[in-house]
Amino acid sequence: MSEPFLIGDGMTGGYGKGPDILHDCTIAVNPGEIAVIVGPNGAGKSTAMKAVFGMLSLNAGAVRLGGEDITRLSPQDRVVKGMGFVPQTSNIFTSMTVEENLEMGAFIRTDDITETMEQVYNLFPILRDKRSQPAGELSGGQRQQVAVGRALMTKPKVLMLDEPTAGVSPIVMDELFDRIIEVARTGLPILMVEQNAKQALEIADKGYVLVQGRNAFSGTGQELLADPEVRKSFLGG
Amino acid sequence: MDFLNAIVALTNFVMIPAVAYGSQLALGALGVTLIYSILRFSNFAHGDTMAFGTMITILVTWDFQSRGIGFGPLPTALLALPLGIVATMALMLITDRTVYRFYRAQKAKPVVFVMVSLGVMFMMNGLVRLIIGTEDQRFTDGERFIIKARVFKEMTGLREGLAIKTTQGITVVTAIVVVALLFWFLNKTRTGKSMRAYSDNEDLALLSGINPERVVMYTWLIVATLATIAGVLYGLDKSFKPFTYFQLLLPIFAAAIVGGLGSPQGAIAGGFIIAFSEVTITYAWKKVLGYLMPENMGPDGLVQLLSTDYKFAVSFAILIIVLLFKPTGLFKGKSV
Amino acid sequence: MTDTIKHSLMFAAVALLFLLEGLTDWSFFSGSWNSSLVILNMGLISAIMALGVNLQWGFAGLFNVGVMGFTALGGLAVVLTATPPTPGAWSAGGPGIIMAMVMGALTVVAAVAATRFLPRGGLRALLILLILAVGFVIYRALFDPSVEAIEAINPALEGNIGGLGWPVILSWPVGGLLAAGAAWLIGKTALGLRSDYLAIATLGIAEIIIAVLKNEDWLSRGVKNVVGLPRPVPFEVDLQNDPAYVEWFAGFGLDPVLGSTLYVKLGYTLLFTLVLLVLLWMSQMALKSPWGRMMRAIRDNEVAARAMGKNVTKRHLQIFVLGSAICGIAGAMMTTLDGQLTLGTYNPLRFTFLIWVMVIVGGSGNNFGAVLGGFLIWFLWIKVEPMSLELITLLTSGLGEDSGLRAHLMENAAHMRLLTMGLILLLVLRFSPRGLIPEK
């Protein structure tokens, strides 16, 4: 099997000089796939994603993007390399309009961005209607769409979402997942941390169950959903 | 007729001076608010930044005057202003390099920045005094009035005159142009938008590839421009004295906070609120009321609510009231 | 080398500066004991002010840049306590002013009550405005004639309400009380705001206090100054006319003028040292007490302290009042030392920010540090001028005697003070942010 497009390989590390939170944890995603990280509270799900994005230093292991070792790069440099990251909170510029949010997303680009912006508007039609409204005035689900749209504006090679459905209603959650699938169909690999394990695994091509910073189970979404042990321990039977 | 006289007197003694003063405060407060929203601290050195820019402008003005370079009916200082701005920009960038950048890298607390700005304030204050001394300097030349009181009286036949000083006219026009340019820059240009983005959400701005050092640099350049223009306009309208400029810090802060620290619109509104309150509360209303009231009921005293020496007290009373009831200011400012 | 030895050496070094000032006229030293004592006396007062600011900043992290206001209130206390009563002033305007004050207070109380108890809306706003307007008119109607009456009394020398004629030493605690009262009012409104809002609020209030004192001539004679304040020590002339003293001075080999001036200054030094020691001792006890530990805990983590049930705002108010009271005491002492109240000379650069330089340089959070900073920075504040004159002479020695630049620099050398203080502050903040004697 060839190396996956993005892989956090055997990552061990923690925040600053604190204790290690991740222990030999491996996360990977390939083009056209949705990879989902799930697990109980405090399992290090978000930490694993932040490690992939370079927001904490690794004591062991490596992160490779398209075969290139990017372990030592800062998050900003990883953005330039083609990683799009949507943080869990404060992921939009609340005082700026939707369109300005998208423009700022494309800040590092020097070429014409109108086409990308058109794609984002096609993907999230509601944003087109609200393009000149301050993003802070939108509803929770719409804000998340702005946040994802902002990250897409760099034309990333991989999109990482940290709990995109946190704090939104179930209906909005379903809609967001639909959008995410649509994004994935364009061939963009998506790595996502999710609290709503069941729904997330249903759309996942690949699932990682973390427990205490270690890979506990991994497999396709369907495999994990079918695995009796996974069901018992965190899918509530 | 009396009613018209009252209106003219009111315009002449209250409205016009307050509009001019308000424009100057608004420009000053814009500088304070920009620093607050990008660098996230209250810059105590702002008054002295204004003094520095004005001082350079004055020195260049004197040089121009000695060579016989003039600007027709307009003050020569307007010609010298660009040089003052450039010098202040240089000073700001040097200060940022040598002083503030270190604390930014350390992610120091806002109060440390404020303390550091005190040190900068001391140094700038000393520098200005060292170069130009502590005395009052007048550097206005050119035509003194746009409309003279006497001409106005002859024109209208009213008993009250209306005078508009050239400097007042220049102040208002310049302020409008500068504010329009600033808002165009912040709302329409890429750099301006990146500044707003950085002020809104620093982490996300970093994620979007916005270079904080560049944002900070542009902020200082704009602040230098605003401070110098505000200082020169104030100096043209009144006079230049280093200590007065240091004291201007108070109404400027009041304006920025009343409007909502971090909000440019707020800074402008705040500037005019403070200016109008200061002028109306310390103005002797005897004349205006004399016209409005029946012949024998005219007031005996000056009908001055507070003596002019209390003008700072007025700005601070407003400041305290706003802080108590609406801590983020009238326009929603940001709190760190 | 232990810390104690190191810090003692620092104090010794500063003491040496003062000794050299008296002993030698080398370089910027003047070789005059009188000058040394003048600097020392003001240094003692500065140290006390620094102690007060350190209490607020070092213990509690409160950023008070209104030191000048509290200092001036201390000065006012001297006038109100120690000067002899102005004959006829109280009967002329006293009742009127008191009634005006009562009226003013009633207006504020009524307005606050209206705000509290009436339902929100335009009607309430209108009523509050009405209360304030009517209150203000009545207040002015009572106040203005009384003020005029008082100011009409012997305006060349008095024209103010006068004092109680008490011994001047008593004015020091009164100064503390006045400052504490003002601080309580300010703290009630401004504490709990964000740190830089508190700074701006205190800066403004200090300006307001100065403005009031400058303009309310009936109270403090404003910019006309109050001179000839009573002193806690004898007058030099009296000593020179007293044969016993003259003989005593001669015993030390001093002529009567030198002897008497030194004697008087030493008297102040003794008094001030006593006050400083008492306050330092109290501050040290406070620092080590559970109360002091709690203060520092609040300073370091306000959220956690709040979560543990500490009433942070109340504690802050306490320490704000205490620190300001110390500044008030120092202010009264300073006015006593000067023998006059000259409100025109109060300037925030000298009376507020310089004290901050002392605290930061000395070491915030450490009482001994603040005291050391007080002495050292005050000495430098006085000596920077002669130092920079020497420096300029040296630097421009190539320019020739008649160089315009040189003349200009020489003339403005006094302003090197501010530049140097700013530089010292920036250097300390950058390279030694914990100061000379860091907090333990």
CATH code, B208: 1.10.3470
Tell me, what's the pLDDT at B142? 83
Tell me, what's the pLDDT at A237? 53
CA distances from A121 to A153, B23, B197, C318, C427 (A): 11, 42, 21, 58, 53
Which chain A residues are Cβ-neighbours of B196 within 8 angstroms? 93, 95-96, 100
Q: CA-CA distance, B291 to B300, in Å (whole number)?
A: 13
Domain contains B276: yes
Domain contains B243: yes
User: Which residue do the tokens 């910019």 mark?
Assistant: C223
**How many Å lie between the alpha carbon of C58 and the closest alpha carbon of chain B?**
13
Nearest to A76 among B197, B201, B209 (CB): B209
The interface predicted TM-score (ipTM) is 0.89
Beta-ladder partners of C187: none
Q: Does A105 touch chain B (CB under 8 A)?
A: yes
Tell me, what's the pLDDT at C178? 94
Question: Using one digit for the tens of pLDDT, what is the confidence trace for A113-136?
Answer: 999 999 999 999 999 999 999 999
- Mean pLDDT calculated for residue range A154-179: 89
Of C62, C341, C291, C63, nearest in space to C175 by CA: C341
Q: What is the 3-state secondary structure (H, E, C) of chain C?
A: CCHHHHHHHHHHHHHHHHHHHHHCCCCCCCCCHHHHHHHHHHHHHHHHHHHHHHHHHHHHCCCCCCHHHHHHHHHHHHHHHHCCECCCHHHHHHHHHHHHHHHHHHHHHHHHHHHHHCCCCHHHHHHHHHHHHHHHHHHHHHHHHHHHHHHCCCCCCCCCCECCCCCHHHHHHHHHHHHHHHHHHHHHHHECECHHHHHHHHHHHHHHHHHHHHHCHHHHCHHHCECCCCCCCCCHHHHHCCHHHHHHHHHCCCCHHHHHHHHHHHHHHHHHHHHHHHHHHHHHHHHHCHHHHHHHHHHHCHHHHHHCCCCHHHHHHHHHHHHHHHHHHHHHHHHHHHCCECHHHCCHHHHHHHHHHHHHHHCCCCHHHHHHHHHHHHHHHHHHHHHHHHHHHHHCHHHCCCCHHHHHHHHCHHHHHHHHHHHHHHHHHHHCCCCCCCCC
**How many Å lie between the alpha carbon of A2 and the closest alpha carbon of chain B?**
30
User: What is the token pair recorded at C91?
Assistant: 């009967």
Which among B40, B91, B122 is the top mutation candidate for probing chain C, defined by the most C β-carbons within 10 Å of its own β-carbon?
B122
Q: Does C14 touch chain B (CB under 8 A)?
A: no
How many CB atoms within 10 Å of residue C90? Answer: 15
* Of A99-108, A198-207, C108-117, the least confident: C108-117
* Of A157-166, B217-226, C169-178, the least confident: A157-166
Domain contains B148: yes
Q: Does B246 touch chain C (CB under 8 A)?
A: yes
Q: Does B127 touch chain C (CB under 8 A)?
A: yes
Which chain B residues are Cβ-neighbours of C353 within 8 angstroms? 118, 121-122
Nearest to A75 among B190, B205, B207 (CB): B207
**How many Å lie between the alpha carbon of B69 and the closest alpha carbon of chain A?**
45
Domain contains B124: yes
Closest CA in chain B for residue A95: B200
Nearest to A107 among B199, B203, B209 (CB): B209
User: What is the token pair recorded at C34?
Assistant: 């009188």
User: What is the token pair recorded at A160?
Assistant: 């990482």
Beta-ladder partners of A190: A34, A159
Q: CA-CA distance, A10 to A27, in Å (whole number)?
A: 8
Domain contains B54: yes
Closest CA in chain B for residue A53: B207
Question: Using one digit for the tens of pLDDT, what is the confidence trace for B300-313?
Answer: 667 777 777 788 88
- Contact (CB<8Å) B209/A154: yes
Q: Does C197 touch chain B (CB under 8 A)?
A: yes
Which chain C residues are Cβ-neighbours of B247 within 8 angstroms? 207
**Which chains, if any, share at least 3 CB pairs under 8 A with chain A?**
B
Q: Does residue C54 surpass a pLDDT of 60?
A: yes
**Confidence band (pLDDT; 50, 70, 90) for C136?**
confident
Look at residue B28 and give its three-state secondary structure.
helix
The packing angle between helices B166-188 and B16-39, to 10°, is 30
Domain contains B330: no
- Contact (CB<8Å) C204/B246: no
Number of domains in chain B: 1
- Contact (CB<8Å) B123/C418: yes
**How many Å lie between the alpha carbon of C39 and the closest alpha carbon of chain B?**
22
Q: Does B184 touch chain C (CB under 8 A)?
A: no
User: What is the token pair recorded at C302?
Assistant: 């306000």
Question: Using one digit for the tens of pLDDT, what is the confidence trace for C172-185?
Answer: 999 999 999 999 98
Look at residue A46 and give its three-state secondary structure.
helix
CA angle C234, C237, C238 (to 5 degrees): 55
- Contact (CB<8Å) A90/B201: yes
**How many Å lie between the alpha carbon of A89 and the closest alpha carbon of chain B?**
10
CA distances from A113 to A104, A153, B148 (A): 11, 8, 56
- Mean pLDDT calculated for residue range B70-87: 92
**Residues contacting residue A30 through CB under 8 Å, at least 6 positions apart:** A4, A5, A189, A206
Look at residue B1 and give its three-state secondary structure.
coil
Specify the pTM: 0.89
CA distances from C225 to C78, C229, C328 (A): 13, 11, 19
**Confidence band (pLDDT; 50, 70, 90) for B299?**
low
Closest CA in chain B for residue A152: B208
Which among B208, B210, B213 is the top mutation candidate for probing chain A, defined by the most A β-carbons within 10 Å of its own β-carbon?
B208
Closest CA in chain C for residue B326: C193
Most confident of A95-104, B125-134, B282-291, B298-307: A95-104
Q: Does C421 touch chain B (CB under 8 A)?
A: yes
Q: CA-CA distance, A78 to A85, in Å (whole number)?
A: 10
User: Which residue do the tokens 């008297």 mark?
Assistant: C267
Q: Which domain holds residue B263?
A: 2-325
Question: Using one digit for the tens of pLDDT, what is the confidence trace for C305-341?
Answer: 888 888 888 999 999 999 999 999 999 999 999 988 8
Strands A22-29 and A6-13: antiparallel
**How many Å lie between the alpha carbon of A193 and the closest alpha carbon of chain B?**
18
Which chain B residues are Cβ-neighbours of C212 within 8 angstroms? 310, 313
Q: What is the mean pLDDT of chain C?
A: 87
Of C380, C389, C382, C383, nearest in space to C412 by CA: C389
**How many Å lie between the alpha carbon of A57 and the closest alpha carbon of chain B?**
17
Which chain B residues are Cβ-neighbours of A95 within 8 angstroms? 196, 199-200
Strands A68-69 and A206-211: unpaired
Q: CA-CA distance, A209 to A223, in Å (whole number)?
A: 12
Helix locations, B67-208, DSSP H: 77-95, 101-106, 110-132, 149-156, 166-188, 190-200, 202-207
Q: Are A217 and A210 in contact (CB under 8 A)?
A: no
**How many Å lie between the alpha carbon of B229 and the closest alpha carbon of chain A?**
28
| Chains A and C are in contact, defined as 3 or more C-beta pairs closer than 8 angstroms | no
Q: CA-CA distance, A40 to B252, in Å (whole number)?
A: 53
Domain contains B336: no
Q: CA-CA distance, C29 to C380, in Å (whole number)?
A: 11
Tell me, what's the pLDDT at B336? 44
- Mean pLDDT calculated for residue range C147-157: 76
pLDDT greater at residue C271 or residue A237: C271
Tell me, what's the pLDDT at B69? 87
Domain contains B332: no
Q: CA-CA distance, A98 to A120, in Å (whole number)?
A: 11
pLDDT greater at residue B50 or residue C350: B50
Q: CA-CA distance, C261 to C89, in Å (whole number)?
A: 36
**Confidence band (pLDDT; 50, 70, 90) for B296?**
low
- Contact (CB<8Å) B323/C423: no
Q: Which domains does chain A have, with CATH numbers?
A: 1-78+193-237 (3.40.50.300)
Nearest to B312 among C195, C208, C418 (CB): C208
Nearest to B130 among C136, C199, C412 (CB): C412
User: What is the token pair recorded at A28?
Assistant: 């990977």
Q: Does B308 touch chain C (CB under 8 A)?
A: no
User: What is the token pair recorded at C104?
Assistant: 């003013």
Percent of chain B topping pLDDT 90: 56
**How many Å lie between the alpha carbon of C245 and the closest alpha carbon of chain B?**
45
Q: Are C65 and C202 in contact (CB under 8 A)?
A: yes
Counting Cα atoms < 13 Å in the Cβ hemisphere of C356 gives 31
With residue A116 as reference, give the H or E element that holds it. helix A114-123
User: What is the token pair recorded at C89?
Assistant: 């002033």
| Chains A and B are in contact, defined as 3 or more C-beta pairs closer than 8 angstroms | yes
Q: CA-CA distance, A97 to B115, in Å (whole number)?
A: 35
